[in-house]
Amino acid sequence: MVIPLLEAYNGRRGYSPLWVKWGFYAFHPIHISLLWLIRFILLGH
């Protein structure tokens, strides 16, 4: 199943603009904070 992906790899980086990089860095703390907020609202602790 993974063999076609390995065969398609050419060693070069793909398209990756700067906003995508920083978007991933921002996504994780934001979504963890949102999950915490939802838990806080639902459970009240």
In order, the DSSP letters of 4-36 are HHHHH--SS-----HHHHHHHHHHHHHHHHHHH
CA atoms within 13 A on the CB side of 43: 7
Q: Which residue has the tokens 């609202």?
A: 41
Domain that holds residue 19: 4-44
pTM of the complete model: 0.55
**The length of the chain, given as a count of residues:** 45
**Max intra-chain CA distance, the chain:** 51
Q: pLDDT by residue (tens digit) across 12-29?
A: 988 889 999 899 999 999
What total number of domains does the chain contain?
1
Provide, rounded to the nearest whole percent, the portion of the chain with pLDDT above 70. Answer: 100
